[in-house]
Copies of this chain bind each other. A is one copy, B any other.
Amino acid sequence: MRQRSVGEAALVERIEAHAAIGAIEGGGVCRIALTDADREGRDRLVAWMRQLDLDVSIDRIGNIFGVRRGKADLSPVMTGSHIDTVATGGRYDGNYGVMAGLEVVRWLNERGIVTHRPLVVAAFTNEEGVRFQPDMMGSLVHAGGLALQRALDTRGTDGARLGDELARIGYAGEMACGSIVPHAFVELHIEQGPVMEAEGVQIGAVENLQGISWQEFTITGQSNHAGTTPMRLRRDAGYCAAAISVFVRELALRYGGSQVATVGAMDLHPNLINVIPARATVSVDLRNTDEATLQRAERELAAFVEKLADAQSVRIDTRRLVRFEPVVFDERLVRVIERASQARGHATRRMTSGAGHDAQMMARVCPSAMVFVPSALGISHNPREHTAPADLLRGADVLLDVLLALAEEA
């Protein structure tokens, strides 16, 4: 069993070859969904699928499925992820899971193994949501969470209509969305966080995914001279923005567990050293694996903001930007992943995904789970995104074992 491996060289070579499409300075990739680079990436993927004798189907939102027939005409076991990237992305986010899926197929082909259930390697359209919102769009449409027509009518940041762009690059497929309902879905992905590296974990069996709450607060106070305005007469929008930042951090530390809170963006106006800010915008990103706790955090923040506005005589407008409920992955599947990894002797840990993934959408229609491998320094969405070849291989081999096990299920 220990020799069963897709092979490091082949895996790394395929990842590198695909990362060359849309390659940017510093070893990164820019392959934003439905651009020419995305088309080129898709063309290469489809060509590889065909070389591997997979039946390629494209659905009407452009999701690509490479199907490997099984002995029985049962619902297939699906793996995959996405091949689009952010503007200054790395080589692994998304692409790794798709390329590893192909390597599993290659391994099976070379051995002439036919599994009981069919296997499918999927690449979902527009997971990153850079040009067209929302993100995870292809898997969301597949899972029935977003109407196809609404998705096709989405306007991009450049004004383009998604449906038109999909047709332009030749990926407005014929298959009805959601046609393939898998027996199980397993997504292999880099962690995009620092936990595994910091704790020496080699394989993460992802058991849940954090709910996400994004809000933006716009604070309107009064601009005044920093020297001549006594503290008691101030309506300092900048202070209020800072107070919100400090509050959410303290909230996350107080809650503990999976709760995280981030103020990533803050803008003061006029942003001058000796002028009390008249206006400030501040973003708050709250995440928790437990919906009730996430709601409690949101309520606490809302109460704090209301009190703050009152106390500081400012107006604070709240805009909800994004809200996803937490996702709990399939316990049985998580256990299959965990055992497969342990059987190979890897340092294994149950993980929570802090980022969104296609698997969270697939979880709406079939038992789903994820396999994580470490990300160096937790750096992601960045050309410096890196996972060591040995880690890439461990993940792909665990995926191989898991897919084989699931594909033999009755």
Contacts and interface: CB of A to CB of B under 8 A. Distances in A.
Interface in A345-359: 353-356
Contacts of A246: 239, 242-243, 246
Contact of A238 (B263, B287, B378): B263
B354 A225 contact: yes
Nearest to A380: B225
A268 B291 CA distance: 30
A171 to B, nearest CB: 28
A195 B243 contact: no
Interface in A145-201: 191-195, 198
A229 B194 contact: yes
Contact of A268 (B239, B266, B379, B382): B266
Nearest to A241: B242
A236 B250 CA distance: 13
Interface stretch (A30-38, A40-48, A275-283): A275-283
B228 A354 contact: yes
B273 A214 contact: yes
B266 A271 contact: yes
A355 B227 CA distance: 5
Contacts of A226: 260, 262, 264, 285, 287, 354
Contacts of A230: 193, 195, 260
B273 A233 contact: no
Given A231-B259, A273-B285, 12 more contacts: A224-B379, A226-B260, A226-B354, A227-B354, A228-B355, A231-B249, A238-B266, A239-B245, A242-B266, A243-B245, A262-B273, A266-B268
Interface string A197-229: 010000000000010101010000011111111
B274 A225 contact: no
A191 to B, nearest CB: 6
A306 interface: no
A252 interface: yes
A119 B236 CA distance: 43
24 contacts: A192-B225, A193-B225, A194-B228, A214-B273, A225-B354, A225-B355, A226-B260, A226-B262, A226-B264, A226-B287, A227-B285, A227-B355, A227-B356, A231-B253, A239-B249, A242-B243, A242-B246, A243-B246, A264-B271, A264-B272, A264-B275, A264-B276, A264-B277, A265-B272
A265 to B, nearest CB: 5
A292 interface: no
A223 B261 CA distance: 14
Nearest to A284: B273
Contacts of A343: none
B273 A265 contact: yes
